[in-house]
Amino acid sequence: MKIQIIKIPLALILFVMFSSIFIFFSCTKEEPPVRIGAALALSGPAAYVGEEVRDGLTLAIDEINEQGGINGRKIELMVRNAVAANSSESDKVAQKVFDELDKAQPLVIVSSLSFLSMKLAPIAESKKRLLVGLVATVPELTKNREWVYRYWTTAEHEAPPMTDIFLEIGGKTNKKNGTLGVIYLDDAYGGSVFRDMEKKCKEKNILITPSPFPPDNKSFLSNVDVVKDSDAVVLIGFDFHIIKVLKSLRSINYKGEIISTTTATLPSVTSIPESNGIHVTAPALYNKNYPFADEVKRRYEERYKKPFTQYSANGYDFIRIFIGLLEDKPMDRESVKAIFDKGFVYSGVFGNVELKRGSKDILFPLFPAQIKNGEVIYR
């Protein structure tokens, strides 16, 4: 039998070989990651807030990546410290950090705290980049802006519950008015809460006595002296401020009621004996009847060996919201902004969270509560 040998042109062999290699690598090549930038306050007196936000972001991203990511793509978190060592350089550093993150083309950049978010907001607006402020209370952050959002309560939402607490606990001395002292941090955050409280107090005929203090204040005896005759005192500041004010009030045996913001629900405050009995506005996070928050709390504390707070919850919940909205959706900045502009309702560690259509503020509910024996007791 004569065997016929078929000659295949070398060019055809090479074409088939390279085509196969191309198809193989095309099928196995991973999609680029979905990038999220984080310009946080990781130094200075409030560095712990930025650290907790970062850890919450990281936990949520790691969990999602372990489950396959979003639309077949992994999530990559890029974290930068946006706080300058010298206050005179703060604007320059904020710009530098934003530009550095923006070069990687993240879908969104998140920031922490009012003072830092306010520096980044005009940069984001001018570049048409999506910025979301976390743990940022100052109302001006999102006003008259198209690309800047917030996931946190504002002064406009925290002041009314505190005023209502004052009225409910009988702080009024007569039918027409009562006296309320307000010891507050004199910065973008504290000033915004105080101004809104002042407005609400005037509407309710409540006499208000202000007592501001600078961020680096060491002693609060003079502040306490200003408000010692008030029926009640409101405390506004970071947790280390509130702790010092509480100790000063207890040292003079202050007899009136004490009211504070959500900051006073932090474990660092509730764990000290001087916090016993103070009234607070509280997120649902610490409600023992809310099992979803308990499960996230357990995972966070097992991993980081520190308490799960509203700051870490803010970072965690934002990622869950953001990625949940992108499922099976186009992942570019304009499409993401369009999704945000439509509004949404989401159930997370803060309870039912809502962004109303056309609004820029993603809000979670606050509830009146009281600290008793180290625990937040909801009313």
Tell me which H or E stretch contains 109.
Answer: strand 108-112
* CB-based contact 20:85 (threshold 8 Å): no
Question: Chain centroid to CA 13: how far?
Answer: 60
pTM of the full structure: 0.86
What does the block give as tokens for 13?
A: 């062999």
Could you give the 3-state DSSP secondary structure of residue 111? strand
**272-248-262-194 Cα dihedral, nearest 10 degrees:** 180
What does the block give as tokens for 372?
A: 């008793």
> Would you state the pLDDT for residue 65?
97
Q: Which residues have CB under 8 Å from 23's CB, separation 6+? A: none
DSSP string of 113-141, one letter each residue: SHHHHHHHHHHHHHHT--EEEES---GGG
Could you give the 3-state DSSP secondary structure of residue 100? helix
> Would you state the pLDDT for residue 370?
95
HSE-up (13 A, CA, CB side) for residue 111: 31
> Would you state the pLDDT for residue 8?
57
C-alpha–C-alpha distance, residues 206 and 93, integer Å: 42
* CB-based contact 236:194 (threshold 8 Å): yes
Give per-residue pLDDT as tens, 290-336: 888 889 999 999 999 999 999 999 999 999 999 999 999 988 999 99
> How does pLDDT run along the chain (379 residues), one tens digit per residue?
444 545 556 554 555 455 554 444 444 456 899 999 999 999 998 899 999 999 999 999 999 999 999 999 999 999 999 999 888 899 999 999 999 999 999 999 999 999 999 999 999 999 999 999 999 999 999 999 999 999 999 888 888 888 888 888 764 444 445 789 999 999 988 999 999 989 888 888 889 999 999 999 999 999 999 999 999 999 999 999 999 999 999 999 999 999 999 999 999 999 999 999 999 999 999 988 888 888 999 999 999 999 999 999 999 999 999 999 999 998 899 999 999 999 999 988 998 999 999 999 999 999 999 999 999 999 8
DSSP string of 147-178, one letter each residue: SEEEES--HHHHHHHHHHHHHHTT-BSSSS-B
Give per-residue pLDDT as tens, 180-218: 999 999 998 899 999 998 988 888 888 999 999 999 999
Which residue in 140, 370, 156, 105 sits closest to 258, CA to CA? Answer: 370
Give per-residue pLDDT as tens, 16-28: 455 554 444 444 4
Q: Which residues pair with 376 in a beta bridge?
A: 371
Mind listing the domains of the chain with CATH numbers?
34-152+289-362 (3.40.50.2300), 156-283+367-378 (3.40.50.2300)
> Would you state the pLDDT for residue 28?
43
